[in-house]
A = this chain, B = another copy of it.
């Protein structure tokens, strides 16, 4: 897989591209899972549009606007948020090709701060990380993620930490990635 810099999988456009070009990405599977949750009236969780900075627009006709120059910008929050059973849900989803660890460069510093803010204010915040080479997908709570960052000097989170501290999300059919099943566990008896 070869991505030019700046074209991240998080975009709406990329969803379309990545789906047609490369088959099942985590983002694509999350999008169809969220769509399934909505169709079932279970949860309303959406991927945010990719932030871009628009520099130039054209108006070729009265009712048409064409963006002619724009750039991807660094997101200040996570990619996904929404509502489930009255709870505020917020997460970032990332894939890694590594078989041994998840590099922390995958998550921007302000996204880390954002996850911490959400966790502090009674939101349900987490990461979904897929080790694509192993075909394993994990949900790591913001609490566990943040405590790892505090305790470790490493630049990555080893797979072993996920195996021990995160929840594995098994592939399913409908939805493909049933992460709300894990959220139910997190909520416990609530």
- Measured CB to CB, the residues of A under 8 A from B are 4-7, 9-13, 16, 38, 41, 43-44, 46, 48-54, 57, 59, 62-73, 76-77, 81-88, 90, 114, 117-118, 120-123
Chain B residues contacting A70 (CB-CB under 8 Å) are 52, 66-67, 70
Q: How many copies does the complex hold?
A: 2
Q: Is the CB of A66 within 8 A of B71?
A: yes
Secondary structure of the A contact surface, majority rule: mixed
Of B50, B63, B81, the residue contacting A81 (CB under 8 A) is: B81
Q: List 24 A-B contacts (CB under 8 A).
A: A4-B62, A5-B63, A7-B57, A10-B76, A11-B53, A12-B52, A13-B54, A38-B117, A41-B120, A43-B121, A44-B118, A46-B77, A49-B50, A65-B72, A66-B70, A66-B71, A67-B69, A67-B70, A83-B118, A83-B121, A83-B122, A84-B121, A86-B88, A86-B121
Structural contact, A85 and B53, CB atoms closer than 8 A = no
